[in-house]
Copies of this chain bind each other. A is one copy, B any other.
Amino acid sequence: METTTYTAGILQYIPFFYVIWSDDLLSYSEISVVKNAIKNDDTLTKEDLSYLLKNLDKKKPPSYQEIKHWKQVISHSKIKLVESDVYPLATFSQNMICHHFEACPFNNHLKDIEINLGIQPNHYNHLFEVQIIKVTSSSFYNPLEIDNILKGEHAPVVDAFRDVLKDPIFKWSIRREKSAFRAHVLKQVTFLAKEGYGAMAYPEAYGGTDNMPAYAAVFENMMYVDGSMAIKFGVQFGLFGGSIQKLGTKLHHDTYLSETGKATILGCFAMTETGHGSNVRGIKTTATFDKETDSIVIHTPGENDNKEYIGNALDSTMASVFAQLIVEGKNHGVHAILVNIRDAEHKLMPGVTIEDNGYKLGLNGVDNGKIWFHQVRVPRENLLNKYGDITPKGRYHSDIENPSKRFFTMLGTLVGGRICVARAGLGGAKKALAIAVKHALKRRQFNDSIKVQEDLLMDYPSHQLRLTPAIASCYVYDITLTHMMKLYSDTTVPDKRKVETQVAGLKSIITWFANDTIQECREACGGKGYLMENQIADLKGDVDIFTTFEGDNHVLLQLAAKGVLSDFKSELNSDGFTAVLKLLGARISDTLTTINPAYTNNVDTVHLYSSKFHKDAFDYRTRRLTYTIAMRIRDYVKKGIPSYQAFLKVQTHLLELGKAYSVELAYNTYIDFTATIEEEKNRLLFEKLGVLYALNELKKDASWYLEQGYISGTKSKALRKRVERLSTELRPHIGTLVDGFGIPEHCMQAPIAK
């Protein structure tokens, strides 16, 4: 077969045509990109033009013979394919014609096509039987720039912190025995406190920078060192210190906050009880005011009413104890009281019993314990009295009269912790992905009989699909959490109820995502992933509990869903409810009318990649689920079923709403952010990651969209294919994408990630 059977005009397009038709992934809009480039090519003769256009007809694709012929033309060309070229395929084409023809009028638009269609060497290098100069990673994007985009305004603080982590105290090693592990983690936490990180979120007067968002950004980076360190740090400064800062008043701040920030006072956050994990309002510990002695008596009434899983319980001298506050015989609901649990010699105070929770699946550097109180007396002033106080005359007083509102206001101040847990989970996922990707860019496996070298793991389509959508999700969740922390810390908006609802949902989907991702990474690294030395095992054990603590994910998702439904709540059981439902129903019908076959069947790339499509689809799902839940609850209530039972009956439905709402929120937040990225190259990359996230999420819930008739079967298949395609398109940049997480090299100690 001779290459000279084609003119130079045609020949330059042959590699592109071969790549395009060897798979049938091109959509109409993509084909029109190619068509336009050809039509604008003045050097083509009429015959060349006609041949080329004839072979770009999706309805009448070229014959197998034709495609096979193109393949042979390429194979026989003897041109090298150099993957490190900026435009490898266009360069290949150019070399091919210039090798065969003296005059080689090359159409430079081919370079645009190569970029626009996302054609990557890994799409076609298997198909070209020519010498291939391989690269495992493209240097098209700069990981430092990407890292800077993620860090945003916190870049200086984060960079400084990453430098601090170079200290040998942060060197990771396998620590099996809990006493030694805990002792080491305590040293690390104290070290960080000395460096000023403990007080970061506190006011300047108490040694801090009053910067909770920066604290959260730094917190994620702790996961790169060790989960136990991050959690112990969070308990001491975020939970214990945070309760003093946010539930206490000046007296408490002056007395304890500076020392807490310096870790010269160690404290724990005693909220959860054995018998009452997620139901904080139902805790049984009592704090009874005794007028005679002007003191409060803390007491554990029953066998299962002890505090449990309390982090820092074995090292602490103080505890912020959550208990039912009883004043003048009346229960005023849950309040926090500071209690000395150990004396200066670290001996337990009278009436206090503490037991080690023992070994756990992970986080064995954190000293979790159980605490019982037997009639432990503390001064009245130890009540953290910002939202509810006992007057010197011994009367209860609160500015918030409604006990329920008071309870949720107090708990609301602690929402920052949930953002931090989600951030920590995200940090774990990022590190696992970085390890798995670095391994897959070195590790070779199997091969066909022809090739000398086994393929890189990362070149397997299934491997790309396992890791790439997860990487895209990390980017989306990173930006989302940064934004949520900003909202939460915005003092101009005092009512945090909305943020609370949002964070409840996001914490759930992100910690689940983190667990799934770490597991996928473990499996993607095979036996190597199972060895402790490669650090994924620790991440897996540590991040596991994030789905449970700071609010069980199932409970939080229902909280989020009820938040969404709360606009209806006040109208439930009233005449107005039906009116609202009608209105919402009408809006959804509106949407459904816009869902004509041209929409449900639209599989064109321009449409599938448009954020409008993603936003519409997410919005539709949230609204539709809200509407149907509201309808179901209304029906149950009408039939005489009490509203608590009605909510129980729609429980699984509520969980779906909570997830849908959170995904939509994350995507919208991310998309708003990408628009602000100035440099076009990086903006397009971030946008592409957003597309992958959105399509992957829609794919995961495709059955629901199909049930609703929102997408057709063809469109559902197209979503799936596009997710695979995008995962492949990002293959050359996958090394850069995990480097963009900015995990310091000194924290990447896994031998397989070297």
Contact = CB atoms under 8 A, between A and B. Distances in A.
A392 interface: no
Contacts of A260: none
B359 A174 contact: yes
B645 A127 contact: yes
A165 B4 CA distance: 79
Interface in A502-533: 515, 519, 522-523, 526-527, 529-533
Contact of A176 (B359, B461, B519, B655): B359
Nearest to A714: B707
Contact of A707 (B360, B461, B706): B706
A579 interface: no
B713 A709 contact: yes
Given A523-B548, A640-B68, A361 B22 contact: no
A600 to B, nearest CB: 12
A641 B454 contact: no
A527 B358 contact: no
B445 A639 contact: no
Contacts of A454: 279, 282
Nearest to A647: B448
A607 to B, nearest CB: 18
A544 interface: yes
B544 A541 contact: no
Interface string A629-649: 000000110111110110011
Contacts of A72: 640
Nearest to A70: B640
Interface in A52-101: 64, 67-68, 71-72
Contact of A68 (B357, B545, B639): B639
A462 interface: yes
B651 A445 contact: no
A716 B724 contact: no
A445 B708 CA distance: 35
A589 to B, nearest CB: 17
A380 to B, nearest CB: 30
Interface stretch (A42-50, A183-191, A200-208, A549-557): A549-557
Interface in A311-333: none
A278 B445 contact: yes
A640 B541 contact: no
Contacts of A357: 531
Contact of A465 (B22, B275, B652): B652
Nearest to A547: B523
Nearest to A463: B554
Q: How many copies does the complex hold?
A: 2
B541 A361 contact: yes
A166 B68 CA distance: 69
Given A68-B640, A454-B279, A545 B532 contact: no
A540 interface: yes
A543 to B, nearest CB: 11
A278 to B, nearest CB: 6
A440 interface: no
Nearest to A705: B703
Interface in A112-133: 126-127
A475 interface: no
A308 interface: yes
Tell me the dominant secondary structure on chain A's binding face. helix
A651 B278 contact: no
A702 interface: yes
A309 interface: yes
A549 B533 contact: no
A585 interface: no
Interface in A526-574: 526-527, 529-533, 536-537, 540-541, 544-545, 547-549, 552-554
A429 to B, nearest CB: 15
A713 B724 contact: no
Contacts of A544: 519, 522, 530, 540
Nearest to A126: B645
A545 to B, nearest CB: 5
A2 interface: no
B708 A527 contact: no
Given A177-B177, A548-B523, A706-B713, A358 B71 contact: no
Given A174-B358, A552-B526, A703-B706, A446 B279 contact: yes
A277 interface: yes
A460 interface: yes
B530 A22 contact: no
A103 interface: no
Given A279-B446, A639-B22, A707-B713, A648 B461 contact: yes
A446 B527 contact: no
Nearest to A636: B22
Given A361-B522, A641-B22, A527 B549 contact: yes
Interface string A240-272: 000000000000000000000000000000001
Nearest to A701: B703
Contact of A64 (B279, B360, B533, B639): B639
Contacts of A174: 358-359
Nearest to A362: B530
Nearest to A127: B641
A533 B176 contact: no
A276 B444 CA distance: 8
A74 to B, nearest CB: 10
Contact of A462 (B68, B360, B533, B652): B652
Interface in A692-725: 699, 702-703, 706-709, 713-714, 716-717, 724
A309 B530 CA distance: 10
A598 interface: no
Contacts of A127: 641, 645
Contacts of A635: 64
B642 A361 contact: no
Nearest to A525: B548
A523 B553 contact: yes
A450 interface: yes
Contacts of A529: 548
A68 B277 CA distance: 35
Contacts of A703: 699, 702-703, 706, 716
Interface of A: 21-23, 64, 67-68, 71-72, 126-127, 174, 176-178, 272, 275-279, 282, 308-309, 357-362, 444-450, 454, 460-462, 465, 515, 519, 522-523, 526-527, 529-533, 536-537, 540-541, 544-545, 547-549, 552-554, 635-636, 638-642, 644-645, 648-649, 651-652, 655, 699, 702-703, 706-709, 713-714, 716-717, 724
11 contacts: A71-B640, A176-B176, A278-B446, A359-B531, A361-B532, A361-B540, A461-B651, A462-B655, A519-B519, A526-B548, A709-B713
Given A126-B645, A465-B652, A703-B706, 5 more contacts: A176-B176, A361-B541, A462-B651, A462-B655, A706-B713
Which 5 A-B pairs have CB atoms at the shortest separation, nearest pair first? A448-B644, A361-B537, A702-B703, A706-B706, A707-B713
